[in-house]
Amino acid sequence: MQRFIRERKTSYLRNVIISVLIFLLIFAGFGCGLTAMNKKMDQEEMQTLQNAITRSVTTCYTLEGSYPQSLGYLKKHYGLHYDKNKYFVDYQPLGANIMPDITIIRKEADHR
C-alpha cells in the first residue's frame, strides 16, 4: 500500500519565499487601495469646496442683489472657510450682475 503514496518533502526556504511573496502582494494591493481612496477623497473635497463657494456667491447675490467683489467678503459675511495651505482659490469678479470666475487649484504637498 505504501508504494503509491509518495512522501513529499517541502523545502523550508521555498515555504518562506512563498509566504513572503503572498504577504507582499497583499500589502501592495492594500497600498493601491489606499492610494485610490485618497485620490477619490481629494476629488470630493475639491468638489465640496467648489459647491461651498458657489453657494456663498449665490446666497450673497440673492440677499444683496450683487455678486461679492472679493473672496474676503464671503469669508467675513458668509462664513466661508477652507484650507489655504491645501487650495489656491482665484476669485475674479466680472461685474455686479455677472457670476464671478472661480478657479480652485490644489496645491502640491511639501516634499521636504
Residue 93: which residues within 8 A CB-CB, separation 6 or more? 67, 68, 69, 70, 100
Residue written as grid cell 516634499: 111
H-helix or E-strand containing 64?
helix 12-64
- Long-range contacts (CB closer than 8 Å, 24 or more residues apart) made by 56-59: 56/80, 57/99, 57/100, 57/102
Please count the other Cβ atoms lying within 10 Å of the Cβ belonging to residue 80: 20
Minimal CA–CA distance to 102: which of 76, 68, 78, 79? Answer: 68
pLDDT in tens, the chain (112 residues): 556 666 666 688 888 999 999 999 999 999 999 999 999 999 999 999 999 999 999 999 999 999 999 999 999 999 999 999 999 999 999 888 899 999 999 988 654 4
C-alpha cell at 94: 466680472
Q: Establish how many alpha carbons lie within 13 A of residue 57's alpha carbon, considering only the half-sphere containing its beta carbon.
A: 22
pTM of the predicted protein model: 0.70
